Chains A and B, each alone.
Chain A
Amino acid sequence: AQSVTQLGSHVSVSEGALVLLRCNYSSSVPPYLFWYVQYPNQGLQLLLKYTTGATLVKGINGFEAEFKKSETSFHLTKPSAHMSDAAEYFCAVSDRYTGGFKTIFGAGTRLFVKA
């Protein structure tokens, strides 16, 4: 069965500092991995995804994530935080089946950015 663990429900960084949001997953098959962002009172928006190929994935707004199979991790990073990055971030894992994809989300990490 799939599962996703996000370490840290809240992360606080200063503007300009490195952002690191941790995600570990379990999946019985090669996973599709995603990071979604949720701004207040909005739906979830895809930041980036890993399906196959290069393990370092670049997404929108300067974010990137690296798929490490040996560590079953898919941590999200951004070299320099901006105030507009303050939001909730969800790591997700998908398994494909005939009827589509079953996507399981982590509990989320709220990112605070201090001026």
Chain B
Amino acid sequence: EPEVTQTPSHQVTQMGQEVILRCVPISNHLYFYWYRQILGQKVEFLVSFYNNEISEKSEIFDDQFSVERPDGSNFTLKIRSTKLEDSAMYFCASSERQGTNTGELFFGEGSRLTVL
């Protein structure tokens, strides 16, 4: 069964360092998302990406965040200068092409980011 894969599963970094989290969405999906979950808290929407551009972003997704789809398969989230409060589990998700899309999100297993 097709699945969303994320790497790394866990990254530890120093405050101020740049981090790139990688995702390979399901191959025929056209909509891509990043969510984060701070330990013990709710799953929060960060950004959605469609047709090679950001389609929507939350107030959390400030200038230190960026997303990119550098090739036909990868979808990345970059945090330019990490802060302690960026420590969280980051989930990538994808959903199907328009027409068949019922809004179901297919999630990866997450990348745990720890900022020291």
Contacts and interface: CB of A to CB of B under 8 A. Distances in A.
A46 interface: yes
A32 B105 CA distance: 12
Interface residues of A, number: 26
A44 interface: yes
Contacts, number: 77
Contacts of A97: 55-56
Interface residues of B, number: 27
A37 B47 CA distance: 21
A51 B55 contact: no
Q: Is the interface of A mostly helix, strand, loop or mixed?
A: strand
Interface of B: 4, 30-31, 33, 35, 41-45, 48, 50-51, 55-56, 91, 95, 101-110
29 contacts: A32-B103, A34-B103, A34-B105, A36-B107, A42-B109, A42-B110, A44-B43, A44-B105, A44-B107, A45-B107, A46-B105, A51-B102, A51-B103, A90-B42, A98-B50, A99-B31, A99-B48, A99-B51, A99-B55, A100-B33, A100-B55, A100-B95, A102-B48, A103-B45, A103-B103, A104-B45, A105-B42, A106-B42, A108-B42
